[in-house]
């Protein structure tokens, strides 16, 4: 199964948002739902369910999102602007992975450009739990079997090999790759059965899927039971990042 979210369609969901720590941003929902889009009284999806959840955050210039954690595994892909995430400089293109209940940040946006990043999950998450709140620190220490898991690579140059590994695939399938294709070229991605879902995010050019055109800042989610995705570049070529979630033990 394949879910697709073209950038021009998702743009209709763009709206202002603010978090409990006061950070402000533009929020654009691509797939699934989030607390910024859910109607009051809507039941949350089951925590254990495979539930694609993708949105673009345009964090305001000069703002800081406090250190926090989530109940789900998460990729973030920086596509515009610049900033500091924890101790890591980030900008286009930076891929960042955090495991469930891994605290990370703060995210400090550039004073002029801000920082824009996709937040990508394969399970529903009700929102950030900020480390500035004592009850969240207490809860984090109580999570059984918790371990800190974080990986990052970037900022990466526009030019590079046709295919490269951004995060080496680990034993449970977690990994990230980048494909740069000339107009009309095709590339076949990793086998989705090795992980728990993949996101494909177009960071340049155009991707053709089932005769549909997906321009820059479009994304797709590939389910684990789907065949490997074959990406084809449009007339402007294609630069696409693939991020695969780990299997659960």
> pLDDT for 202-229, tens place per residue?
999 999 987 789 999 999 999 999 999 9
pLDDT at 249 over 70: no
**Is the pLDDT higher at 25 or at 43?**
25
Question: Structure tokens of 159?
Answer: 């030019």
Q: How far apart are CA 58 and CA 227, in angstroms?
A: 33
**Is the pLDDT higher at 120 or at 34?**
120
Sheet holding 15-18, edge to edge: 15-18, 24-31, 53-59, 115-121, 74-81, 94-98, 150-153
- Got the DSSP string for 79-131? EEE-EEETTEEE-SSEEEEE-TT--B--EEEPTTT-EEEEEEESS-----EET
Q: What is the mean pLDDT of residues 108-124?
A: 96
Task: Enumerate the CATH 2.60.120.10 domain ranges in the chain, comma separated.
Answer: 8-153, 163-244
CATH of 8-153, one of 2.60.120.10, 2.120.10.10, 2.40.70.10, 3.40.50.261: 2.60.120.10
Instruction: Give the residue ranges of DSSP H helices in the chain.
Output: 7-10, 134-142
* Dihedral angle over CA of 53, 58, 166, 200, nearest 10: 40
Q: Taking the CB of residue 227, how many other CB atoms lie within 10 A of it?
A: 12
Task: Specify whether the CB–CB gap between 197 and 122 falls below 8 A.
Answer: yes
30-71, pLDDT tens digit by residue? Answer: 998 876 666 777 777 888 888 999 999 999 999 999 999 999
Q: What is the mean pLDDT of residues 156-166?
A: 90
The β-bridge relationship of strands 74-81 and 115-121 is antiparallel
Averaged pLDDT of the chain: 93
Q: Which residue has the tokens 């990508």?
A: 120
pLDDT of residue 203: 97
Q: What is the mean pLDDT of residues 102-122?
A: 96
3-class SS of residue 77 = strand
Q: How far apart are CA 146 and CA 155, in angstroms?
A: 29
3-class SS of residue 239 = strand
Task: Specify whether the CB–CB gap between 242 and 177 falls below 8 A.
Answer: yes
Residue 207's nearest CA partner among 178, 227, 167, 174 is 178
pLDDT of residue 195: 97
| C-alpha to C-alpha distances, 118 to 5, 25, 139, nearest whole angstrom | 13, 13, 27
* Dihedral angle over CA of 214, 112, 61, 84, nearest 10: 80
Does domain 163-244 match CATH 2.60.120.10?
A: yes
Q: What is the mean pLDDT of residues 133-152?
A: 90
């Amino acid at each position: 199964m394949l879910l697709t979210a073209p950038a021009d369609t998702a743009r209709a969901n763009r709206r202002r948002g603010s978090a409990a720590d006061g950070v402000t941003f533009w929020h654009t929902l691509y797939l699934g739902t989030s607390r910024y889009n859910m109607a009051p009284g809507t039941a949350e999806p089951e925590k254990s369910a495979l539930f694609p959840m993708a949105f673009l955050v345009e964090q305001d210039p000069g703002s800081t999102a406090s250190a926090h954690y989530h109940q789900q595994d998460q990729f973030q892909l920086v596509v515009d602007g610049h900033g500091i995430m924890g101790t890591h400089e980030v900008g286009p293109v930076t891929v960042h992975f955090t495991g469930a209940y891994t605290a990370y940040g703060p995210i400090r946006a550039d004073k002029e450009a801000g920082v824009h990043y996709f937040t990508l999950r394969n399970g529903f998450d009700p929102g950030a739990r900020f480390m500035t709140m004592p009850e969240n620190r207490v809860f984090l220490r109580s999570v059984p079997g918790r371990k800190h898991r974080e990986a990052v690579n970037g900022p990466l140059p526009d030019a590079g090999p046709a295919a490269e590994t951004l995060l080496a695939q680990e034993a449970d399938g977690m990994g990230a790759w980048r494909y740069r294709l000339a107009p009309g070229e095709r590339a076949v991605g990793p086998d989705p059965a090795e992980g728990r879902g993949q996101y494909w995010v177009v960071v340049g050019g155009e991707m053709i899927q089932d005769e549909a055109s997906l321009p820059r800042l479009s994304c797709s989610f590939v389910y684990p039971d789907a065949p490997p995705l074959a990406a084809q570049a449009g007339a402007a070529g294609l630069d696409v990042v693939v991020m695969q979630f780990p299997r659960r033990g």
